[in-house]
A and B are shown apart, each in its own frame.
Chain A
Amino acid sequence: MRQRWVRIVLLILAVLSTGIALAQSGGELRFCLRSDPKTFNPLLMADDASETVRYLTGGVLMRLNRLTQEAEPELATSWKVSDGGKTITLKLRDGVRFSDGTPLSSDDVAYTVQQLMDPALHSPTGDAFRSGEGRVITRVLGKNRITITFPAPIAGLDKLFDQVAIMSAKSPQKEMAVLGPYYVAENKAGAYLILKRNPNYWKHDSSGRQLPYIDSVRLEIQQNRDIETLRLERGEIDFINSIDAEYYDKVMAQNPAMAHDAGISLDAEFMWFNQVPTSPLPAYKKAWFTSTNFRRAISEAINREDLVRIAFRGRAHPAAGPVSPGNKFWFNSKLQPHPFDQKSALQRLAQDGFHLQDGVLHDRDGHMVEFSIVTNAGNKYRERMATMIQQDLSGIGIKLNVVTLDFPSLIERMTRTFDYEACLLGLVNTDLDPNSQMNVWLSSSDNHQWNPSQKTPATAWEAEIDKLMRAQASALDAKQRKQYFDQVQEIAWEQEPFIYLVNKDALSAVSPSVRNVHPVVLRPQVYWNIDELSLGSEVARNK
């Protein structure tokens, strides 16, 4: 009798679990891309749209877990870094096949690495691996074992492989044969892309079911953000990966279950002054901008709390330095945002001979302190921030003019003509490791925005940053690297070549029909666990 009841209960459980499994399967997930992907070659992807496609279709050796921020095995089941950080030996997973059925072997990894490191390719992903001059040597040790030797040690080597989608050396489909959860099935330029479930995807859930749960992903090309939000409200798309604070509040008011705030993102909004010696600015302005006192005074005269409260509706945090608190390991917790203190700002300015005359600030030679700040047109948050900074600086007698330019014109001024005084922009951090910021901090780099491509460091503190950045890049011990980079952050805080203003929150809006969503601060915030996402049975759209 008791056994019969046990059987009945087991039967009911089996039926229920089948029901749950069926509810999880199938359907089409839909979201928007801002533009067409520029390329399907995973090694050349640099734009957001292409990177989205790479994330959804590419199979990688290790994947950075967006939740724990640690590297986890994917196509490589284990790896060992040796030879002082120059060599990595990888053991590949058995029985993995590309979407077209071609088996994965270490030859494919060797092929991908050789392609990636080809200097003629100019791959942004490949450049992240370039720590020194010389060739990269790949040695195939067997079907599933390979050793890759780089010419110089690379700190944080394993995490860099998160960006490298392995390509097939033999498949006739070339880069369209993939190892990720989906493959590109249809591409209507300017309209949409359809990704279908990869029938050979190697991952299975704990019950042995092949992942991903969702059959297909439809990526709609949608440039206009307002229309994108309208489409989410109408249920035409399932989520928006990154939304602004204004829309977040609207979603919160209408349907709180849809709004997600993952906390402080890695992105920062900041401004800087043009310190290029050859810029067409008058000498007295160059003198202002190269003065640490002047930069610190400007920083202290800006009310970051107000920027957060008004421009970002409280969905941001005052920024202290180049690393956001969202970056758990690399953030220097000793640093605090510069407080709003206009009295202290005026004292600093007085040290450099600046003085107030009828409420207007003048330098020691009698020049009225007035400058312009450029930012990209169409970004309403930056435009609002610029207006608020303008108001704050008027409090210490400085006249600030706000100039908005379209992006190509802005880049031309920043990188070619240097015809600007101050610039307000944001940095989108896709990588946790400070090595990804190497080209920003090295004084010889083209992306050292305030004074790029220096032959020798213009200041002692820039020379110190150069030394510390190189030291952290060659050290293998994570703690040692952290110490070096903490010092870089402290110098940046002290000298303020970039005046960090706010770190935005990672905000997203997701339809309740999407299950198992856990938005995080790292990109891609919403669909980082794409193979585990599912659509609710009541709304699953089997098309």
Chain B
Amino acid sequence: MRGVLKLAAKILITVLLGGFLGATLVRLAPGFGVDEEELDPRLNQQSIVALRQAHAPESNLMVLYFHYLDRLLHGDLGISRTLQRPVRQLLVERFPETMKGVGLGLALGWTLGLGLAVATVMSRAWYLDLSAGILAGLLLCLPAAVLALLFVLAQAPARLILGLIVFPKVFRYSRNLLARSSALPHVLMARAKGLGNLRVLVWHILPTAAPQLLALAGVSVSVAFTAAIPVEALCDLPGIGQLAWKAALGRDVALLINLTMIVTLVTLVANSASDLMGNRFRRAEA
């Protein structure tokens, strides 16, 4: 219990630090606090001054942090300057879209990656290993944005892109892990004793590789989340990735601080959960 509380406190502090660091970078970025509307020739001097003054509370970082924490404690995430809407409303609308994409991407990436890794290791067929390796290598070389553009051109469902981004990472890592586990003496002994492939895999290979595979699961969540930003922006999927892109272009602190925190939180929770489960496996094995 104490360990869980300690972990929660660690996550909370890291999330806040991540959010504030994000806000600091945006505040220091060139072009912070300017609005495209300032160039509207219809606006008179008073309106331009008012437009500029609207950014005044954001210009002092300490004031910005204090106001943000104060609002956060009251359940208010602020107002997005670029979209002129409450951040909470935007997140409620868009988070499910990203979760669907990330969920589907992880499911597809893991099914393909782990499935091919198992097939390669268990069959020990060189041609399968070679072709899967080439496919994974090719996909690893393609940046997420290029993959997204190819999908747009091919009119393919954009939700599958995240799966193809996660797949090569899962395949290469898990293939190496499974290959190493399958070369362990007790696995060789089990094979020599005539145990079937499925039993060797389920009882001897997977349990040995499980802690590392769980760690990989945590990492793959953050990989999918990070890739969601260019993919959603290019494919016009209305998720938080698209929101993050717009927020960055518009130097929208209120939106970026919350999005940074969400991505940090999801990454930390996924990694911590995989660590905890991995530790349990190790303890159980010991």
Contacts and interface: CB of A to CB of B under 8 A. Distances in A.
Contacts of B185: none
Interface string A466-502: 0000000000000000000000000000000000000
B34 A223 contact: no
A124 B42 contact: yes
Contacts of A130: 44
Interface string B36-51: 1111111111111011
Contacts of A444: 45
A122 B51 contact: yes
A224 B85 CA distance: 23
Contact of B41 (A119, A234, A438): A438
Interface in B141-164: 152-153, 155
Contacts of A292: none
A21 interface: no
A405 B50 CA distance: 25
A221 interface: yes
Nearest to B239: A190
Contacts of A436: 41-42
A122 B31 contact: no
Nearest to A192: B238
A411 B38 contact: yes
Interface stretch (A35-43, A202-210, A527-535): A35-43
Given A124-B42, A125-B42, A223-B236, A408 B94 contact: no
Contacts, number: 113
Interface residues of A, number: 48
A119 B50 CA distance: 10
Given A127-B44, A190-B242, A190-B243, A408 B50 contact: no
A379 to B, nearest CB: 14
B233 interface: yes
Contacts of A291: none
A363 interface: no
Contacts of A36: 83
A283 interface: no
A346 B123 CA distance: 79
A437 to B, nearest CB: 6
A407 interface: yes
A446 B38 contact: yes
Given A415-B38, A446-B48, A408 B242 contact: no
B214 to A, nearest CB: 34
A437 B41 contact: yes
A440 interface: yes
Interface string B190-205: 0000000000000000
Contacts of B243: 190
B39 A38 contact: no
A411 B39 contact: yes
A408 B47 contact: no
B249 interface: yes
B107 interface: no
Contacts of A122: 43, 46-47, 50-51
A222 B41 contact: no
A189 interface: yes
Interface string B237-265: 01100110010011100000000000000
Interface of B: 30-48, 50-51, 82-85, 90, 93-94, 152-153, 155, 233-234, 236, 238-239, 242-243, 246, 249-251
17 contacts: A124-B43, A125-B42, A189-B90, A190-B242, A220-B236, A223-B236, A224-B234, A406-B249, A409-B30, A411-B34, A411-B39, A412-B33, A416-B34, A439-B41, A444-B45, A446-B45, A447-B48
